[in-house]
Structure 1
Amino acid sequence: MLNFFSSLKLTLAVLLGLALLASGGTVAPQIEGRYDLYYQSLWFRLGLGLLALNLAVCTLKTIRRNLEDRRRHLEVLSSEQLFAQPLRYLLPHERPLDSFASGLRRAGYRVETGTGGQLLARRGMAGRWGSTLVHLSVLLIMLGALLAQLGFVGTLNLYVNDQTDKYFDWSKQDEQPLGFTFRLDAFEPQYYPIAVQFVAIDPASRQVIATLTAREGETVLLPGGELRAKVMRFFPFEEDLVLGLYRRDSYLGEYHALGGQQLLRNTFDPGFELRPAAFRDPIIRQLHSEVAILEGERVVQRGVIEVNSPLTYRGIKIYQTAYTRDKFGFWAAGFQLSRDPGEPLVWFGCITLVIALLAAFTIPYRAVGISRHEGETFLVALSGFSGEGGGKAFDALEQGLTIEEKNT
Structure 2
Amino acid sequence: MEEQREGIVEDIWRVFSSMKLGLVLLGLVALASGLGTVFPQANIEPEKAKAVGQFWQMLGFTQVYSTIWFRLLLGLLCINLIVCSLQRFQGIYNRTFALKSPETVSSVPNKIRTTIPGESESLKTSVQNVLKRKGFKVTTTVGDKGWSFIAIKRRWGNWGSLISHISFVVLVIGAIMGTTMGFKGFFMVGAGTTIPISSINVSKGTVKQDFSVHIYSAEDRILANGERDNWYTDMSIIENGQEITRQTISVNHPLKYKGVTFYQSSFANGARLTVDIKDQKIPVVLQDHGGNYFQAPGTDLYLIAEAIRSDPQKPMMLYRVYKGKGVQPVQTGQISAGETIDIQGEYKLTLDGNAGFTGLQVKQDPGVIVVWTGCALLLLGLLLSFYWRTMVVSGVFESGQLTMGAMAGKTAGGAKQEFDDLIQDIQAK
* TM-score relative to the length of structure 2: 0.65
1:313 aligns with 2:257: yes
**Do the aligned partners of 2:389 and 2:408 also contact (CA within 8 Å) in 1?**
no
Partner of 1:16: 27
Partner of 2:126: 99
Q: 1:164 to 1:43 in 2, by over 3 A?
A: same
**Do the aligned partners of 1:119 and 1:371 also contact (CA within 8 Å) in 2?**
yes
Which SS does the other structure have where 1:66 is aligned? helix
- Counterpart of 1:170, as a letter, is V
User: Which structure 1 segments of 5+ residues have no match?
Assistant: 196-282
Task: Find 1:140's aligned residue among 156, 166, 170.
Answer: 170
Cα drift, residue 367 of structure 1 = 0.2
Partner of 1:221: none
The aligned length equals: 315
Cα drift, residue 65 of structure 1 = 1.9
Q: 1:354 to 1:189 in 2, by over 3 A?
A: same
Which SS does the other structure have where 2:63 is aligned? helix
- Counterpart of 1:188, as a letter, is E
Q: 1:172 to 1:73 in 2, by over 3 A?
A: closer
Alpha-carbon distance between aligned partners in 1 of 2:106 and 2:68, rounded to the nearest angstrom: 50
Task: Find 1:156's aligned residue among 183, 187, 193.
Answer: 187
Cα drift, residue 317 of structure 1 = 0.4
Alpha-carbon distance between aligned partners in 2 of 1:130 and 1:363, rounded to the nearest angstrom: 9
Alpha-carbon distance between aligned partners in 2 of 1:332 and 1:12, rounded to the nearest angstrom: 50
Which SS does the other structure have where 1:299 is aligned? strand
1:364 aligns with 2:407: no
Alpha-carbon distance between aligned partners in 2 of 1:16 and 1:289, rounded to the nearest angstrom: 45
Partner of 1:55: 81
Partner of 2:331: none
Alpha-carbon distance between aligned partners in 2 of 1:369 and 1:401, rounded to the nearest angstrom: 14
Alpha-carbon distance between aligned partners in 2 of 1:137 and 1:74, rounded to the nearest angstrom: 30
Cα RMSD for the two superposed structures: 3.0
1:188 aligns with 2:214: no
Cα drift, residue 306 of structure 1 = 0.8
Within 5 Å, give how 1:129-278 maps onto structure 2.
Answer: 129-148=159-178, 149-165=180-196, 166-171=198-203, 176=207, 178-194=209-225
Partner of 1:339: 364
Cα drift, residue 369 of structure 1 = 1.6
**Do the aligned partners of 1:161 and 1:183 also contact (CA within 8 Å) in 2?**
yes
1:304 aligns with 2:248: yes
Q: 1:45 to 1:363 in 2, by over 3 A?
A: same
**Do the aligned partners of 2:108 and 2:404 also contact (CA within 8 Å) in 1?**
no
Q: 1:21 to 1:295 in 2, by over 3 A?
A: closer
Which SS does the other structure have where 1:193 is aligned? coil
1:108 aligns with 2:140: no
**Do the aligned partners of 2:408 and 2:415 also contact (CA within 8 Å) in 1?**
no
**Do the aligned partners of 1:10 and 1:54 also contact (CA within 8 Å) in 2?**
yes
Alpha-carbon distance between aligned partners in 1 of 2:229 and 2:62, rounded to the nearest angstrom: 30
Identity of aligned residues (%): 27
User: Which structure 2 segments of 5+ residues have no match?
Assistant: 1-10, 50-60, 271-286, 288-304, 306-350
Partner of 1:74: 100
- Counterpart of 1:133, as a letter, is I
**Do the aligned partners of 2:36 and 2:63 also contact (CA within 8 Å) in 1?**
no
- Counterpart of 1:9, as a letter, is K
* TM-score relative to the length of structure 1: 0.68
